[in-house]
């Protein structure tokens, strides 16, 4: 029974200029298709000239067989309201690639949640600019690719990375403390499909050594920020943030250790929301229907 329901479950995500009749039109269309709505979330930035956002889950008999038809047929509704939209199949598991460097805490958190079934995602491959974490990754039965990156070889390295991602049919990428800046070309090729964890509560302490900066300022809260990457370093749309209260007794090293815990929590949540299509991006902000 579970598999039958799952195969018929769909998610429709919509963003468009706010105007009367959107919810009625979408609901009526789904009713005409004999769909049963199981969850609906919506948000309007401003009823007068603002934007409207909607995430709707529904069951539709024989959805897999009708997927292409629904995609084509719904376009007439979408055109009427100038919608940006996408239709997702719940049973179609997304393929996630993980980029890492030397630190393993975020990677291990994702692998543990994946193996325990908490993250319903496929992890076909892990890529790294170092070889340090190969044994850990391969112990999970996941292929590991070492792609060294230097200032002079970055274009060639990124081309190799793209080829690997294409060979595995990757849907999105997670930078689990990957200590390299991706080029603008790479970012544009995977727009809103690369999630990064920044070891700071953005926009504070951007760039390198945020825990040292936080220690020097005597902060009372430390945090981590999971966000989609853009051409602007550490300024992409924020998906999730986590904080932890600290005090003057924490050394810079203790702040760093505590920070690792908030990093992996924030990143895991962001990944979970992404794979479940709970995040909508508008300009440089996100709406998370969690």
For residue 146, give the nearest of 159, 156, 133, 163 by alpha carbon: 133
Query: Out of 152, 171, 216, 234, which one is annotated catalytic?
Result: 234
**pLDDT tens-digit map of 255-267:** 778 888 999 999 9
Angle at 25 (CA atoms; ends 21, 31), nearest 5 degrees: 145
* 222 three-class SS: strand
* Superfamily the domain 2-89 falls into: ACT domain (3.30.70.260)
203 upstream amide cis, omega within 30 of 0 = yes
Residue 229: half-sphere exposure toward Cβ, Cα within 13 Å = 26
**Rounded CA gap, 57 and 271, in Å?**
19
Query: Does the pLDDT of residue 222 top 90, yes or no?
Result: no
Q: Name the E strands within the chain.
A: 9-17, 36-44, 51-59, 84-89, 95-100, 122-128, 144-146, 172-175, 194-198, 221-228, 238-245, 279-282, 285-288
Give the tens place of pLDDT for each residue, 88-119. Answer: 998 899 999 999 999 999 999 999 999 999 99
DSSP label of 183:
P
Lookup result for tokens 């291990």:
108
pLDDT per position as a tens digit, 34-51: 999 999 999 998 877 799
Task: Give the model confidence (pLDDT) of 114-144 as tens digits.
Answer: 999 999 999 999 999 999 999 999 999 999 9
Pairing, β 194-198 against β 172-175? parallel
Percent of the chain surpassing pLDDT 90 = 76
CA dist 168 and 97 (Å) reads 9
pLDDT band at 3 (very low <50, low <70, confident <90, very high): very low
Give me the architecture of the 95-288 domain, per CATH: 3-Layer(aba) Sandwich (3.40)
d(CA 128, CA 196): 14
pTM: 0.90
DSSP states of 68-101: HHHHHHTHHHHHHHT-EEEEEETTSPPEEEEEE-
The pLDDT, as a whole number, for residue 248 is 80
| Residue 232 annotated among the catalytic residues of the structure | no
Find the mean pLDDT for residues 215-238: 84
Where are the domains positioned within the chain?
2-89, 95-288
């Amino acid at each position: 029974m579970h598999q039958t329901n799952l195969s018929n479950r769909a998610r429709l995500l919509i963003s468009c200029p706010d105007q009367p009749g959107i919810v009625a039109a979408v609901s009526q269309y789904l009713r005409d298709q004999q769909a049963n709505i199981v969850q609906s979330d919506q948000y309007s930035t401003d009823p007068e000239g603002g934007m409207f956002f909607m995430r709707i889950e529904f069951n539709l008999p024989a959805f897999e067989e009708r997927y292409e038809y629904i995609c084509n047929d719904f376009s007439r509704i979408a055109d009427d309201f100038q919608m940006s939209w996408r239709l997702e199949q719940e049973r179609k598991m997304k393929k996630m690639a993980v980029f890492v460097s030397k630190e393993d805490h975020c990677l291990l958190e994702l692998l543990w949640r994946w193996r325990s079934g908490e993250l319903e995602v496929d992890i076909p491959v892990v890529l790294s600019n170092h070889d340090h974490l190969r044994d850990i990754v391969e112990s999970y039965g996941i292929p590991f690719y070492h792609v060294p990156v230097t200032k002079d070889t970055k274009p060639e390295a990124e081309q190799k990375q793209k080829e690997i991602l294409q060979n595995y049919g990757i849907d999105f990428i997670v930078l689990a403390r990957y200590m390299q800046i991706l080029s603008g070309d790479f970012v544009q090729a995977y727009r809103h499909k690369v999630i990064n964890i920044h070891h700071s509560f953005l926009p504070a302490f951007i760039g390198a050594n945020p825990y040292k900066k936080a220690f020097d300022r005597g902060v009372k809260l430390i945090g981590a920020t999971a966000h989609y990457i853009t051409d602007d370093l550490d300024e992409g749309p924020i998906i999730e943030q986590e904080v932890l209260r600290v005090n003057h007794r924490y050394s810079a090293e203790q702040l760093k250790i505590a920070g690792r815990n908030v990093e992996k929590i924030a990143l895991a949540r962001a990944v979970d929301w992404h794979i479940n299509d709970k995040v909508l991006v508008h300009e440089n902000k996100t709406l998370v229907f969690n």
